[in-house]
Chain A
Amino acid sequence: MLARVADDLYWLGRYLQRAENTARLVAVNGNLQLDLPRGLRTGWAPLVDIVGAQACFRALYSQAQESEVVRFLMLDERHPGSMLASLSRAREILRSVRGAVPNEMWERLNELYWFVRADGERALSPRGRPEFLARLVDGCLALTGILVCSMSRDLAFQFVRIGANLEQADMTTRIVDVRSTSLIEGVASEQLAPFADIQWMSVLRSLDAYQMYRRHARMRVTGVPVLRFLLQDREFPRSVSFCLQRIDRALLKLPAQRPVTQALARVAALLRDADLEALIRTGLSGFLDEVQIGLGVLHDAIHAAYFRRDANPSDLLRS
Chain B
Amino acid sequence: MNEDKQLEQRLRQDDKQALETVYLKYKDAFIAYVRKHQLGTSDALDLYQDAIIAMHQQFVSKQVVLQRSNLKTYLFGIGKNLLLKQLEDKKRPRPASMPPEREEPLPLDESPLTEEQRLLLKHFGSLSKSCQDMLKLFYYRGLSIKEIVALTNYKDENTVKSHKSRCLKRLTEFIAKK
Q: Do A and B come from one complex?
A: no
